[in-house]
Amino acid sequence: MKRVSDVDAALLRFLKSEGLFPGTDIELIEQEPFGGAFVVRLEDRLVRIAPDAAKQIFVEPLEVVA
Within a domain: 66: no
CATH code where residue 52 lies: 2.30.30.90
**Domain membership of residue 33 as a residue range:** 3-58
C-alpha atoms less than 13 angstroms from C-alpha of 34 in its C-beta half-sphere:
0
Give the chain's domain count.
1
At 54 the three-state DSSP class reads helix
Report how far residue 1's alpha carbon sits from residue 21's, in angstroms, rounded to the nearest whole number. 7
In three-state secondary structure terms, 14 is helix
Q: What is the pTM of this model?
A: 0.83
How do residues 11-33 score in pLDDT, each as one tens digit?
999 999 999 999 999 999 999 99
Q: What angle do CA 34, 37, 43 make, to 5 degrees?
A: 140
Residue 25 lies in a domain: yes
Is residue 65 in some structural domain? no
Domain contains 45:
yes
Task: Read off the pLDDT of residues 1-10 as tens digits, 9 standing for 90 and up.
Answer: 999 999 999 9
